[in-house]
């Protein structure tokens, strides 16, 4: 029974680590990709000469799918406040995803090498799980917000056709990455809850034994009185 539980824990940790690693790479890719907004081709003209991409850091123009020209945004102060906020959220998400992935690796290392110390295992695993969950939420906010703006402007008759955009590939990468990060965080939190409960059931007197310190002064005084 214990062997089956250990195998299930190993599979859960490895699966969560893979999800977290893929989500980390996807978060970085979605941050740097320019295909957040792509030009919408509305009308009967099937010949498209150029495609416009708009990202967090640059916009690109693809001419007939042959020549690609990209230009970084010039002044930071001239950018819309929402774009600046999305930049900040995605950069924070990239940093947190890397930290979460490293903490998950350390947590797995302690799980296999120091099974007798349940407290250190719980700290690393729980920290990785919470940080993965927070990272997934941070990725989900700018991606979903941008998607909502695109859909709203697409069906708004007041917006000119030339300014209408469609959902870009970076948004789909962001949604998948957010889902993987949230799944990884949930798995690590479940593993922590299971490990903490099983350690308490397996070693019910471990915490009491650690908290109880021997009274050396009392022992020495008793030995002296006994000697006299």
Sort strands 165-167 and 37-39 into parallel, antiparallel or unpaired: antiparallel
d(CA 1, CA 13): 18
Task: Find all residues with CB under 8 Å of 9, minimum gap 6, and list them.
Answer: 111, 191, 194, 195
* 155-198: pLDDT as tens digits: 988 988 888 899 999 999 999 999 999 999 999 998 888 765 55
Torsion, Cα 182 23 90 73, to 10 degrees, reads: -150
Dig out the tokens for 1 from the structure: 């029974």
C-alpha separations of 79 from 48, 55, 76 in Å: 29, 12, 5
Tokens of 43: 């009308």
**pLDDT above 80 for 7:** no
In this predicted structure, what is the pLDDT of residue 198? Answer: 52
Q: Is the pLDDT of residue 131 over 90?
A: yes
- Residue 36, classed as helix, strand or coil, is coil
Reply yes or no on whether the pLDDT at 122 is more than 60. Answer: yes
Question: In this predicted structure, which of 76-85, 90-99, 142-151, 197-206 has the lowest mean pLDDT?
Answer: 197-206
Task: Determine how β-strand 50-54 pairs with β-strand 165-167.
Answer: unpaired
Query: Considering the domain 3-34+79-201, what is its CATH architecture?
Result: Up-down Bundle (1.20)
Which neighbouring-strand residues pair with 53?
A: 38, 60
Tokens representing residue 132 in the block: 């993965």
Enter the DSSP assignment of 80.
Answer: -
Q: Which region among 69-78, 140-149, 205-214 has the lowest average model confidence (pLDDT)?
A: 205-214
Strands across the sheet containing 58-63: 67-72, 58-63, 50-54, 37-39, 165-167
């Amino acid at each position: 029974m214990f062997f089956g539980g250990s195998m299930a824990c190993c599979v859960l940790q490895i699966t969560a680590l893979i999800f977290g690693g893929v989500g980390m790479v996807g978060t970085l890719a979605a941050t740097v990709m320019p295909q957040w907004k792509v030009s919408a081709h509305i009308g009967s003209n099937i010949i498209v000469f150029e495609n416009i991409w708009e990202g967090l850091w640059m916009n690109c123009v693809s001419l007939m799918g042959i020549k690609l020209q990209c230009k970084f945004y010039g002044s930071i102060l001239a950018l819309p406040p929402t774009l600046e906020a999305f930049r900040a959220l995605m950069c924070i998400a990239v940093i947190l995803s890397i930290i979460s992935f490293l903490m998950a690796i350390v947590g797995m290392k302690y799980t296999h090498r120091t099974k007798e110390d349940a407290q250190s295992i719980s700290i690393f695993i729980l920290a990785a799980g919470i940080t993965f969950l927070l990272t997934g939420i941070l990725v989900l906010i700018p991606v979903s917000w941008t998607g909502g703006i695109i859909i709203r402007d697409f069906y708004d008759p007041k917006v000119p056709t030339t300014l209408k955009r469609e959902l870009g590939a970076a948004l789909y990468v962001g949604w998948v990455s957010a889902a993987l990060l949230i799944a990884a965080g949930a798995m690590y939190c479940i593993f922590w809850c299971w490990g903490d409960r099983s350690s308490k059931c397996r070693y019910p007197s471990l915490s009491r034994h650690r908290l109880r310190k021997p009274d050396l002064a009392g022992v020495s005084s008793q030995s002296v009185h006994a000697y006299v």
